[in-house]
Chain A
């Protein structure tokens, strides 16, 4: 009897390990920046490049920072959701236009809609590095004290909004 039980037990253990391994997404690297202060930056605004936006301006409010680019195909997936979210006025969304060209970025917003209070132009991607951006789109939820509370990697979905992002925002707004 044990002759069959042992290999079966080993087989089950291996299957469980492989099962866990296969359902993990290696692209979802947990960010060490969650629960840390959001890196402070000052950048030119996309629409009016004579104006500067400073992340300090947002201290005192709960806001979302969405990293996007006109060359990013996955951004088109999440974009209608962001437009809808901005229309509802639950949370101000700021756009970090990551490594993009101004003309194409503005054209893109005209074509797909502009959900952003302000878009900031991170042309050389330096602010992106400070925020640990490695795949666009990425979305950060930042609280009143300027602390990153959540990072979403990849396109925002209805499920992620309902399950995680919106409840968190409600909680943070208090």
Chain B
């Protein structure tokens, strides 16, 4: 009985090893397919990644096109790479992507009427804050002046202080 069990275990381990080897060769072929693209032209790859760093992946929206592993980002990297090989300038490639996906692909949004609030909003809030603060402080000063002492109270204080000096 135990003998049979041990044999079964051996068979299972053997199969797992075969499976592991198959998987290893499989993933190796995957790598072998991807690698030449990078090795082909490291300068171009670097330029592509530099550009993709400033573009948003629309599938994983908090990732850049350079960093995302989504299939979509992979396709767009291929597109950028091909356009660079076709001697397109960075601006032309950005225009190409914006025409299809909108300004949303840009991490650095352009300055135009629809983005005025985005660009100048913080400044408006800041100026609003400064105005509120100035108004508040002025208001407070007048309040303090209003609550200043009456003539009678001042005389009382003076007499009290004189009394204190004599002691």
Contact = CB atoms under 8 A, between A and B. Distances in A.
Interface of A: 26-27, 29-33, 99, 124-126, 128-132, 134-135
Nearest to A30: B102
Nearest to B101: A132
Contacts of A128: 75
Mostly helix, strand, loop or mixed at chain B's interface? Answer: helix
Given A32-B100, A33-B100, A125 B58 contact: no
B100 A29 contact: no
B99 A32 contact: yes
Mostly helix, strand, loop or mixed at chain A's interface? Answer: loop
A29 B58 contact: yes
Contacts of B99: 32-33
Nearest to B74: A125
A29 B101 contact: yes
B143 to A, nearest CB: 12
A126 B71 CA distance: 13
Interface in B96-113: 98-104
B76 interface: yes
A170 B20 CA distance: 58
